């Protein structure tokens, strides 16, 4: 078997020798270059399994080599060596297509891990068509946006860069994270998903970093933290927007240093993880409002992947519906029913605020309600408030209506949403005959609830700030929250009847 060969680019002779010896001990041959020009010459002369480059070279920046390699040799992973603490440059390199980075002084253990990962990128593991099959069966969809998404995921699975997955609730962000892991060189390692919103604040540090028996009341056993559990694999921080600020600082440190210190111990433990994160909230808005640290956002959001809402995926709605019905019926041991033309049309013109998860729930319910092997519109029980104009397809007009409902930035920057409702939104409002059976009041309340919820999310549930965004008084917002069932227990005590009368 031929030995792999690497190209190392650095102008420090001692470091070059040290890295070369480390690689040789790992069974990897190495060619060395001390300038960009030398590196380019060697790249033209022969092919390499991977490249490791310093950033400060006598004739230019290693970043330009990263860009050249990403363009001319996209299958060759390239990693960069950064000066200690220069995280900005490391992130820039990752954005330009570097596979990973290592900081100076180069720790040999870390270098070894990096080399192993680099060699796995092109190792003949799953064949390309197996990867495509996996990708298609896990993340179902044939819409152009989904094809493009799958191509992006296959590409970025090769890198170690942190990926931030954004998208509305239920669009499939966790599916995307799992797929990145399965397509990556880490696929044989663990995939550890964490719902950051579900861990009580006081247990967070111990959950993430682990603890030693007896380190606090209740620590009856040694506990391995989530970082160590994900070692060699992928840590997926779901609902990352829900991390308390105090924990964000600790997490940032662990991510930067790639080390954790379990509670009750004095020593730090190195961890080798790839970090993925997701939230359905507007994280940038949360950063602007001071609820999420800018430096952590910058660190986890090296590459952003947006998962499109279901209503933008056209016929994928029916493809997913069929697949879910087949799966459910296989589980229940029954023959899958058909979906009537009218029911299909309803599905295609429904806004799916809860996206793929809502589609799954809708079909499960329809399956229990339907008889004679046919799902009819009445079995879907879709919320008429979200039924779009019946144009046969989710139209541009309907899209703009939806985005007007959900666009926080428009609400907060005062663009024409209130007072002067855009013509496109008005034309998307259902006609009288399409109003929900519950009537106008319920329809309007749904819209009101949706907008208020968005404003509250954008203001991190600071009701004074939310009221300001909505152009209403605090009192009036409090009244509406109670009316719509969004109030907290606190509200229940302190809103008196007189206030309700006067709001």
Ligand X SMILES: Nc1ncnc2c1ncn2[C@@H]1O[C@H](COP(=O)(O)OP(=O)(O)OP(=O)(O)O)[C@@H](O)[C@H]1O
Among 461, 350, 468, 447, smallest CA distance to 404 is for 447
Q: Among residues 169 and 400, whose Cβ is nearest to ligand X?
A: 169
Is residue 167 within the footprint of ligand X (CB under 6 A)?
Answer: yes
HSE-up (13 A, CA, CB side) for residue 140: 14
Residue least distant from ligand X (Cβ): 172
Per-residue CA distances from 202 to 36, 160, 245 (Å) = 51, 31, 13
Structure tokens at 189: 């390692």
Is residue 175 within the footprint of ligand X (CB under 6 A)?
Answer: yes
β-bridge partners, 259: 270
For the chain, the 3-state helix, strand and coil shares in percent, each to the nearest 5, are 50, 15, 35
Is residue 356 within the footprint of ligand X (CB under 6 A)?
Answer: yes
Q: How far is the CB of 165 from ligand X (least distance, A)?
A: 8
- Interface segment toward ligand X; rule CB under 6 A; list 36-44, 166-174, 248-256, 447-455: 166-174
Is residue 140 within the footprint of ligand X (CB under 6 A)?
Answer: yes
The per-residue DSSP string of 128-197 comes to HHHHHHHHHHHS---SHHHHHHHHHHHHHTTS---EEEE-STTSSHHHHHHHHHHHSTTTTS-EEEEEGG
Residue 407 · residue 453 · CB < 8 Å = no
Residue of 112, 250, 357, 482 that binds ligand X (CB under 6 A): 357
Q: How far is the CB of 286 from ligand X (least distance, A)?
A: 15
Is residue 358 within the footprint of ligand X (CB under 6 A)?
Answer: no
Residue of 158, 173, 469, 478 that binds ligand X (CB under 6 A): 173
Residue of 103, 184, 286, 360 that binds ligand X (CB under 6 A): 360
β-bridge partners, 79: 52, 100
Q: How many residues bind ligand X (CB under 6 A)?
A: 16
Residue with tokens 């031929």: 2
Q: How far is the CB of 36 from ligand X (least distance, A)?
A: 43
Q: Among residues 55 and 356, whose Cβ is nearest to ligand X?
A: 356
Residue with tokens 């010459």: 41
Among 191, 173, 171, smallest CA distance to 181 is for 191
Among 172, 122, 184, 489, smallest CA distance to 355 is for 172
Residues in region 390-449 near ligand X by CB under 6 A: none
- Interface segment toward ligand X; rule CB under 6 A; list 123-131, 136-144, 260-268, 329-337: 136-144
Backbone angles phi, psi at 278, to 5 degrees: -155, 155
Residue of 15, 87, 139, 329 that binds ligand X (CB under 6 A): 139
Q: How far is the CB of 238 from ligand X (least distance, A)?
A: 6
Residue of 141, 210, 233, 309 that binds ligand X (CB under 6 A): 141
Is residue 280 within the footprint of ligand X (CB under 6 A)?
Answer: yes
Residue 362 · residue 400 · CB < 8 Å = no
Is residue 450 within the footprint of ligand X (CB under 6 A)?
Answer: no
What is the radius of gyration, based on Cα positions, of the chain? 27
- Interface segment toward ligand X; rule CB under 6 A; list 168-176, 267-275, 340-348, 424-432: 168-176
Is residue 241 within the footprint of ligand X (CB under 6 A)?
Answer: no
Q: Among residues 258 and 311, whose Cβ is nearest to ligand X?
A: 311
Is residue 212 within the footprint of ligand X (CB under 6 A)?
Answer: no
Angle between helices 87-96 and 62-72 (to 10 degrees): 20
Using omega within 30 degrees of 0 as the cis cutoff, is the peptide bond preceding 105 cis? yes
Structure tokens at 368: 């229990």
Q: How far is the CB of 174 from ligand X (least distance, A)?
A: 3
Q: How far is the CB of 321 from ligand X (least distance, A)?
A: 11
Is residue 234 within the footprint of ligand X (CB under 6 A)?
Answer: no
Residues in region 295-354 near ligand X by CB under 6 A: none
Is residue 169 within the footprint of ligand X (CB under 6 A)?
Answer: yes
Please report, as ranges, the residues that interact with ligand X according to CB under 6 A.
139-141, 167, 169-175, 238, 280, 356-357, 360
């Amino acid at each position: 078997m031929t030995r792999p060969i690497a190209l190392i680019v650095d102008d420090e002779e001692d470091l070059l020798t040290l890295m070369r010896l480390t690689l040789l001990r790992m069974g990897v041959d190495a060619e060395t270059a001390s300038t960009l020009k030398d590196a380019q010459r060697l790249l033209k002369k022969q092919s390499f399994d991977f490249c490791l480059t310093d950033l400060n070279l006598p004739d230019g920046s290693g970043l330009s080599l990263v860009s050249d390699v990403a363009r001319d040799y996209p299958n060759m992973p390239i990693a960069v060596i950064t000066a200690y603490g220069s995280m900005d440059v490391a992130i820039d390199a990752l954005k330009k297509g570097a596979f990973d980075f290592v900081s100076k002084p180069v720790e040999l253990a870390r270098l070894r891990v990096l080399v192993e990962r680099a060699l796995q990128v092109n190792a003949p593991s799953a064949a390309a068509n197996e990867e495509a099959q996996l990708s298609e069966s896990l993340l179902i969809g044939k819409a152009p946006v989904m094809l493009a998404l799958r191509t992006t995921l296959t590409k970025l699975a090769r890198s170690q860069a942190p990926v931030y997955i954004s998208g509305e609730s239920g669009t499939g962000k966790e599916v995307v994270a799992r797929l990145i892991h399965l397509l990556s060189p880490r696929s044989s390692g663990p995939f550890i998903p964490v719902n950051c919103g579900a861990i009580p604040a006081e247990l967070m540090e111990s959950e993430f970093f682990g603890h030693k028996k007896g380190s606090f009341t209740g620590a009856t056993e040694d506990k391995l933290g989530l970082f160590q559990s994900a070692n060699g694999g992928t840590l997926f921080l779901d609902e990352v927007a829900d991390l308390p600020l105090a924990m964000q600082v600790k997490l940032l440190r662990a991510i930067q240093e790639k080390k954790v210190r379990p509670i009750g111990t004095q020593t730090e433990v190195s961890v080798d993880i790839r970090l993925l994160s997701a939230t359905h909230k507007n994280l940038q808005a949360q950063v602007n409002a001071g609820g999420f640290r800018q430096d952590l956002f910058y660190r986890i959001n090296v590459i952003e992947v947006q998962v499109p809402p279901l209503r933008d995926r056209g016929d994928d709605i029916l493809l997913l519906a069929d697949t879910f019905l087949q799966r459910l019926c296989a589980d229940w041991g029954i023959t899958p029913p058909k979906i009537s033309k009218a029911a299909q049309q309803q599905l295609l013109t429904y806004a799916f605020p809860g996206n793929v998860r809502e589609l799954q729930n809708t079909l499960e319910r329809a399956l229990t309600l339907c008889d004679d092997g046919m799902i009819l519109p009445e079995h879907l029980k879709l919320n008429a408030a979200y039924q779009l104009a019946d144009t046969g397809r989710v139209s541009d007009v309907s899209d703009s209506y939806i985005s007007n409902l959900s666009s926080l930035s428009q609400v907060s920057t005062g663009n024409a949403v209130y007072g002067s409702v855009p013509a496109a939104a008005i034309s998307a409002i259902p006609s009288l005959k399409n109003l929900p059976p519950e009537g106008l009041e319920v329809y309007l309340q749904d819209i009101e609830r949706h907008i208020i919820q968005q404003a509250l999310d954008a203001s991190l549930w600071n009701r004074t700030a939310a009221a300001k965004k909505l152009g209403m008084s605090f009192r009036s917002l409090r009244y509406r929250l109670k009316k719509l069932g969004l109030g907290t227990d606190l509200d229940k005590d302190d809103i008196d009847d007189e206030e309700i009368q006067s709001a």
